[in-house]
Amino acid sequence: MLAQHGIEMMIKQYDPIDLSIESLNDLKPNYLRLERNLCQDFKKDSTKQHIVKQILLFAETHNIKVIGDSVKNEQDYLAFEMLGFYGTSR
């Protein structure tokens, strides 16, 4: 309905604990900015890596652009770039 009027939607501070991936299907956002906690120390935490990869797979199939939030570590930044994030904030 919003898209018919040229309106795009972003969900900020997304964490699948607060809002399930399945719920995103109903909301149909254009952009998804991940919760800062999911982005910090990403390369050191295999649980975060698994969660983020699942989010990216869902986003890819539903045409949602994913943005990393507050990525301070260069290794994390490069990892997000390699995974195909739409963008990252530092």
User: What confidence tens digit (pLDDT) does each residue in 15-29 have?
Assistant: 999 999 889 989 999
Q: State the average pLDDT for the chain.
A: 93
Over residues 35-63, the mean pLDDT reads: 95
Contact 36/70 with Cβ under 8 angstroms? yes
- Whether pLDDT at 1 is above 80: no
Is pTM, for the whole model, over 0.85?
yes
CA distance 67 to 73: 15
Reading the block at residue 67, the tokens are: 């943005």
Nearest CA to 2 among 22, 37, 27? Answer: 27
Residue 31 has pLDDT above 80, yes or no: yes
